[in-house]
């Protein structure tokens, strides 16, 4: 073979080897599949980042009639769930309609049959040494062994009922957050109420919002900044007022409960009952 031909075919082989090495080096560095344009690592990362940043984005299609296998959730969500952002200084909430009217009616009825409310001493609150009836009914449900203190009293969670579990799982699907405890408040009419308070108990996981689901009569829900309460306030920050409607979900994100008190005030014109479920995540080592 002529030396020139030998030289040029060697050159071609070397060029091919070089090209091959370059391509594989590039694919290895960017972890790409030869036929996939997107780096593999990025796909997973993007997914998980999206989940962390805004887990609510990915949840879907509210289709009431669509019953799935046992073990899966029998409700889906509108896509996207139309969230409304509620913000003020130190207040960060999201509000959406989670259930259709028909589904919310059904869940309200089931809750009326299933939930067992506190009676006796547990249905009372002590103020200046005197016992008073709590101006609503309350119950606590959750994972085995969980206890939660409010109004200075520890309450042991009863095991989840099917409807509470169903609503809890619907909230998880809509938000991406998991919950191990729920406080149920039942207001027989507009005279029943809850006074200003913060849900800032040390047992609550600060990384998880409190998810408040309402059924029945719509009620006003009022946030008041801790610096704007009482007569001698340090500053004047306007209260934030919402109406929580039948089938709605309100997410109270951190740090709302650090700075803002909330209440459901008396509304005498309201004649119908309401049930509110506040799903919470209690840090497990706070079991008692």
Ligand X SMILES: O=C(O)CCC(=O)C(=O)O
| Site for ligand X contains 83 (CB under 6 A) | no
**Least spacing, CB of residue 221 vs ligand X, in Å:** 5
Q: Which residue is nearest to ligand X (CB)?
A: 276
Contact residue for ligand X among 262, 270, 273, 282 (CB under 6 A): 262
Question: How does strand 137-142 pair with strand 158-159?
Answer: parallel
Question: Which token pair is 10?
Answer: 């060697």
**Least spacing, CB of residue 174 vs ligand X, in Å:** 18
**Least spacing, CB of residue 196 vs ligand X, in Å:** 9
**Least spacing, CB of residue 274 vs ligand X, in Å:** 7
77 versus 261: smaller Cβ distance to ligand X = 261
| Alpha carbon distance 260, 224 (integer Å) | 5
Residue 210's contacts (CB-CB under 8 Å, 6 or more residues apart) are 199, 204, 251, 252, 257, 278, 279, 280
Q: Assess contact for 247 and 98: CB atoms under 8 A.
A: yes
# of chain residues touching ligand X (CB under 6 A)? 11
252 forms bridges with which residues in the sheet? 93, 210
**Least spacing, CB of residue 280 vs ligand X, in Å:** 9
56 versus 280: smaller Cβ distance to ligand X = 280
Q: What's the burial of 89, exposed, middle or buried (CB within 10 Å: 0-12/13-18/19+)?
A: exposed
Can you tell me whether residue 253 is helix, strand or coil?
strand
- The residue behind tokens 């299933």 is 114
Contact residue for ligand X among 276, 279, 281, 282 (CB under 6 A): 276
| Alpha carbon distance 12, 106 (integer Å) | 76
Contact residue for ligand X among 93, 164, 183, 211 (CB under 6 A): 183
Q: Assess contact for 260 and 90: CB atoms under 8 A.
A: yes
Residue 204 DSSP code? B
39 versus 190: smaller Cβ distance to ligand X = 190
Query: Which residues are annotated as part of the binding site for 2-oxoglutarate?
Result: 185, 187, 197, 262, 274, 278, 280
Helix and strand element counts for the chain (H, E): 5, 16
174 versus 244: smaller Cβ distance to ligand X = 244
Contact residue for ligand X among 96, 251, 278, 281 (CB under 6 A): 278
Residues in 192-251 that interact with ligand X by CB under 6 A: 194, 199, 212, 221, 244
Residues forming the site for ligand X (CB under 6 A)? 183, 185, 194, 199, 212, 221, 244, 262, 264, 276, 278
């Amino acid at each position: 073979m002529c030396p020139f031909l030998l030289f040029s075919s060697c050159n071609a082989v070397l060029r091919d080897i070089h090209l091959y090495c370059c391509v594989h080096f590039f694919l290895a560095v960017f972890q790409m599949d030869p036929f996939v344009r997107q780096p593999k690592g990025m796909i997973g990362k993007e997914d998980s980042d999206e989940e962390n940043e805004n887990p609510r984005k990915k949840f879907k299609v509210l289709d009431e009639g669509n019953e799935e296998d046992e073990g899966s959730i029998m409700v889906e969500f509108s896509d996207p769930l139309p969230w409304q952002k509620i913000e003020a200084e130190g207040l960060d909430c999201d509000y959406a309609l989670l259930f259709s009217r028909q589904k919310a009616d059904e869940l309200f009825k089931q809750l009326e049959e299933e939930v067992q409310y506190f009676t006796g001493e547990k249905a009372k609150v002590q103020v200046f040494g005197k016992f008073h009836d709590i101006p609503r009914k309350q119950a606590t449900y959750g994972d085995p062994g969980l206890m939660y203190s409010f109004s200075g009293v520890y309450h042991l969670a009863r095991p989840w009922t099917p409807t509470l579990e169903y609503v809890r799982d619907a909230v998880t699907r809509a938000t991406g957050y998991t919950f191990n405890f729920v406080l149920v408040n039942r207001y027989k009419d507009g005279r029943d109420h809850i006074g200003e308070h913060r849900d800032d108990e040390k047992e609550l996981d600060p990384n998880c919002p409190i998810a408040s689901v309402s059924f029945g009569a719509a009620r006003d829900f009022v946030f008041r900044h801790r610096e704007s309460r009482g007569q001698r306030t340090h500053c004047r920050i306007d209260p934030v007022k919402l109406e929580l409607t039948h089938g709605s979900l309100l997410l109270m994100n951190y740090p709302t409960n650090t700075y803002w008190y909330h209440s459901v005030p008396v509304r005498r014109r309201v004649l119908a009952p309401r049930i509110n479920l506040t799903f919470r995540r209690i840090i497990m080592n706070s079991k008692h």
